[in-house]
Structures are given as structure tokens and as C-alpha cells.
Amino acid sequence: MRRDTLFYRIFKEFPELLFQLTGDPPLNAADYRFNSVAVKEPTFTIDGVFEPLVLDGTGTMYLAEVQMQPDPKLYERIFAELFSLFYRSRELYNDWQCVMIYLSRSTEQRFTHPYRALLNSDQVQIIYLDELGNIRDLHLIVSLAVLTTVPPTRHQQKLETS
């Protein structure tokens, strides 16, 4: 007999077993029910994937997301895309990195609690373009990227005050 099927049957009858196993049951543990949920796979188009030239399972895949306006469900989408891609092509990469590039902190998703382990890990890097420092001290390519975020009427003003 498959043991996972047996556990699922037990969970169906006694959902509190999960919380007893964790040793840290929520106060409303009796208010939970066990379900088997089918998730239809959405189609994702990931704009920024950096792959190693040799896809032999030893390299790192990088996902880059540039966000210039607030998106209240950005992390839900990004991590779904990332893990779906990594699941589908696991044999091609050994690891993954995610680089989130925001215009400013005000464009970052506010609700981050469910993603705190990922966001605080060394696999996710967050960059705020408006906090990179003096534009004249930045690498030329980085300066050009930052300049694309400045309204056209302020380009010269930003260079003069830098």
C-alpha cells in the first residue's frame, strides 16, 4: 500500500494530525480541513532569464525582474514563474538566483510576509535604482539604466546636481 495515500486518508479524517506533527498548532487548528487541490498550470512569459551558455546541469539560472510601478502580487507571480521554470528545466541548472530591480522602495510589493525566507536568502537580491548613489560614480551601463528612470526634463538637472 502506498503510504502517502494512507496519510492522505488519515489527514482527511483527522486534519489536526498535521499540526500535532509540527508541534506548533495554530489556535484554530480544529477549523482546518484537508483537501486535494489540482492547480491548472498558467502560462508564464518570463522576460528576464539569464542562462549559462553550457546547459549541463552545473550552472546557475538567473531570473531578472524590473519593476517600475507597484504590483501588489508581484512576488506571487515571480516565485510561481521561477519555481515553475526551475521545475521544468531542473536538469539544465544546478541553482537559481532572482534579481529584483525596483525604481524605488515605494514600488516594491508591501505584503512580503509569506516570502520572507526567500527575500532574506542569498538567492534573492533586491536593487533600488534610486539608491545606487551618485550617477557619475556608477558604471556607464548602470548610469544609462538609471537615466532611463528619470523624467526627460530632469536629465540635465540630475547630472548637474550630481
- Give the burial string for 1-13 (b: 16+ CB within 10 Å, else e): eeeeeeeeeebee
Residue 61: phi and psi, rounded to 5, are -95, 130
SS3 string, 51-69, reads: CCCCCCCCEEEEEEEEECC
Write the DSSP string, 85-117: HHHHTGGGEEEEEEEEEESSGGGS-S--GGGHH
pLDDT in tens, 114-161: 999 999 999 999 999 888 888 888 777 787 777 777 777 655 555 566
pTM for this structure? 0.74
Could you read off the pLDDT tens digit of each residue along the chain, which spans 162 residues? Answer: 466 777 778 888 888 888 887 788 888 888 888 877 776 777 778 878 999 988 899 999 999 998 889 999 999 999 999 999 999 889 999 999 999 989 899 999 999 999 999 999 999 999 998 888 888 887 777 877 777 777 776 555 555 666
> Residue 146 pairs with which residues in a beta bridge?
none
Sign of torsion over alpha carbons 104, 125, 121, 26: positive
